[in-house]
Amino acid sequence: MNEDIALALTNEMLIVAIKVASPILGVALIVGLLVSILQVVTQIQEMTLTFVPKMLAIIAVIFLAGHWMLSVLVEYSESLIRNIPAMF
């Protein structure tokens, strides 16, 4: 395996990781921002108020986009395993 193949594999791995993680991170960011704005407006400083809505939103995203995320990971794994003989 030479450097070009290693760099290509690393690049593909990072792209897949960003694809899979971005829905969860995006929803957590938006919900956290909305809860923070709500806390500033109402002056409620409860720690569980920030944690519970984020967890519920993340669980909802996993239920809604979990099939897609799993299919992306399976497709990446299959292509990686299929191309093992060509790498060496």
25-83 pLDDT, tens digit per residue, is: 999 999 999 999 998 898 888 877 888 999 999 999 999 999 999 999 999 999 999 98
Task: Give the domain ranges of the chain.
Answer: 3-87
**H/E segment holding residue 79:** helix 47-82
Q: What would the DSSP string read from start to end of 15-77?
A: HHHHHHHHHHHHHHHHHHHHHHHHHHHHT---HHHHHHHHHHHHHHHHHHHHHHHHHHHHHHH
pTM here is 0.80
DSSP conformation class of 83? T
Average pLDDT over every residue of 4-31? 95
User: Residue 31's pLDDT is what?
Assistant: 95
35-46 pLDDT, tens digit per residue, is: 999 988 988 888
